[in-house]
Amino acid sequence: MELKEKYTKLINELDEILSLGNEGLLKSERMYQVIYSVEDQLKEISKELDERSQLSIEKNIPMWRNVPKSGIFVRNEEVTKRVFPLKALLSELLSKQSGQTTVQVKSEMVIPVGKPYDGRLYLRTILQQASSSVFIRDSYFKPVILDILLEYLLDNSNLKIEILMGDNNKLSSLRASYEVFKKQYSTFNISARYSAGQDNDHPRYIFIDEQLLFNPDHSLDQWGEKTVNIHQLLDTTEIDKAKNQLIVEWNVATNI
């Protein structure tokens, strides 16, 4: 079976349990049976793939597994929480296999809830515009985005990436992942800082090559998990205003 067919088959299996979950007819043992089967098949498939795809699969499959409770019906929220990340990963791999990995950058973009793959695809489309630098300002930045950024660092060793997040309950997980990341990829030009103190003002920005400025209303990992509106600033005066604000925040932030 070709990779394209394998991905499509696994997506269909996940869609089936999503449908059962939506109707309140999915039991715990059935959900985990399908999820663990999909994960195992992905691990096997990864042996045939490039390094980036292998890293994506490795990062999306947990090292531990829950023991299902026999006979218990699963809430739909729990089904979507477990299935959506796997489905987004599979859709992304299928897109790569089909050679359709980008969409057009727009000045206004709405990604509805339930479309996490579309969210990741559009984030990658934005990041692909970068030739020299990427600045991300996201108070609740999560380590999963490091995995996406790694792809562009591997492609462009001259790329500079700066991440500015807030001092909140997400900081410890990013610090742990960032330390491991820097240890393994010490030659890459990536740095991360956090704004000390209570972060009441937390707009999100993606600043590409100090020219293209995007302002999403949700954290980068939430695109498609929640409905997100992504606005590209086009007025140079407003871009400069935001740029100066980011420079000030970066200069007083603490290194991670």
Show which of 48, 69, 98 is a domain's final residue.
98
Q: d(Cα 160, Cα 35) in Å, to the nearest integer?
A: 37
Question: From residue 59, how far is each of 34, 56, 85, 144, 166 by CA, in Å?
Answer: 19, 5, 11, 8, 23
Residue 85: band (very low, low, confident or very high) from pLDDT cuts 50, 70, 90: confident
Residues 103 and 109: their CA atoms lie apart, in Å, by 11
Residues 150 and 91 both lie in one domain: no
Q: Residue 54 is part of which domain span?
A: 3-98
- Read off the pLDDT of residues 23-60 as tens digits, 9 standing for 90 and up: 899 999 999 999 999 999 999 999 988 877 887 788 77
Residue 99 has pLDDT above 70, yes or no: no
Q: Assess whether 93 and 113 both reside in one domain.
A: no
Nearest to 61 by CA among 73, 76, 45, 77: 45
Same domain flag for 54 and 116: no
120 residue type, one letter: R
- 145/238 same-domain check: yes
Residues 122 and 44 in one domain: no
Position 103 in a domain: no
Residues 131 and 60 in one domain: no
Tokens representing 167 are 């001092």
The answer to whether residue 13 is domain-embedded is yes
**Would you say residue 193 has pLDDT above 90?**
yes
Say what the pLDDT of residue 42 is: 93
Domain count, the chain: 2
Q: Are residues 169 and 62 in the same domain?
A: no
Domain holding 210: CATH number?
Answer: 3.30.870.10
**115 in the same domain as 75:** no
- Please tell me whether residues 216 and 161 are part of one structural domain: yes
- pLDDT for the residue 108: 93
Per DSSP, the three-state class of 149 is helix
Q: How far apart are CA 124 and CA 126, in angstroms?
A: 5
Q: Cα–Cα distance between 59 and 42 in angstroms, integer?
A: 12
pLDDT > 90? residue 204: yes
Rounded CA-CA distance 97/3 in Å is 7
What tens digit of pLDDT does each residue of 141-189 get? Answer: 998 899 889 888 888 889 999 999 988 888 898 999 999 999 989 999 9
Non-local (6+) Cβ contacts of 102 within 8 A are: 121, 124, 125, 128
Question: Which H or E run includes 136?
Answer: strand 133-137
The reply to whether 46 and 146 lie within a common domain is no
Residue with tokens 């999306």: 60
Question: Under 8 Å CB-to-CB from 236, ≥6 apart: which residues?
Answer: none
pLDDT band at 82 (very low <50, low <70, confident <90, very high): confident
